[in-house]
Copies of this chain bind each other. A is one copy, B any other.
Amino acid sequence: MHTKKTKVKRIPKRGHYDFETIAQILDEDFICQVAFVHEGYPVVIPTIYGREGKYLYFHGASTSRMLVNMEQGFEVSVNVTLVDGLVLARSGFNHSLNYRSVVVFGKAILVTDDAEKEAALEVVSEQIIPDRWKELRPIKAKELKATSVLKLSLEEASAKIRTGKPVDDKEDYALDVWAGVLPIEKRYGAPIPDPDRHKDEPLPDSVKNLLKS
């Protein structure tokens, strides 16, 4: 939904408001920044999330400051930013970044139903390591109780995207300065088995698949 809040004001041509674009960006990461107002001042905290359908799910210990605030019904703003590359132009002024970013506005709702809560935790787990959840023992009742889960509608969200080559001032194209894009890549390194393992477990499919991705 395109509202006054979500409208991309700075460089409007980079703004996108369709759900597919927003969902694709959200699905490429699992870390977001959640901002809220606490005693009148802004607070921003990183946290992990999962997306399913038109909702983001967050979890945390029932005691965390962020979650306590959300339970009281404070509005939040959430950002996910993927940095795709450095854009080197012929002037400092025209240097830029290639990025894909989503900002969501809304009120996070506490999930109180245990079945919905457990399903949401699986969504968050799947977002980070697909198929890990089914490799694990079921969650215990006391663990579920110690965890708060919140959901946030994606109704009020927008994306901002920059792609492609540098854009320089006309006269600067004559300068003998290298210009172009330096891509930024994220990858997983070699897995480090827990030194406290009781035997040499083989690498699970979930990790193998992440390493292939």
Contacts and interface: CB of A to CB of B under 8 A. Distances in A.
A189 B182 contact: yes
Given A41-B5, A91-B143, A172 B48 contact: no
A31 B186 CA distance: 15
Interface string A128-158: 1100110111011001001100000000000
A176 B199 contact: yes
Chain A interface main SS type: mixed
B183 A128 contact: no
Interface in A64-84: 64-65, 74-79, 81, 83
A195 B181 CA distance: 10
Interface stretch (A19-27, A50-58, A94-102, A109-117): A94-102
A119 B203 CA distance: 50
A43 interface: yes
Contacts of A48: 97
A77 B42 contact: yes
Contact of A125 (B92, B147, B166): B92
Nearest to A207: B182
B196 A81 contact: no
17 contacts: A5-B43, A41-B75, A44-B78, A46-B99, A86-B128, A88-B132, A92-B125, A92-B143, A95-B129, A135-B178, A137-B172, A165-B192, A165-B196, A176-B201, A178-B201, A178-B207, A183-B190
Given A9-B64, A185-B187, 4 more contacts: A10-B61, A37-B37, A181-B191, A184-B187
Closest 7 CB pairs of A and B: A35-B35, A183-B189, A35-B44, A33-B33, A178-B201, A46-B81, A179-B194
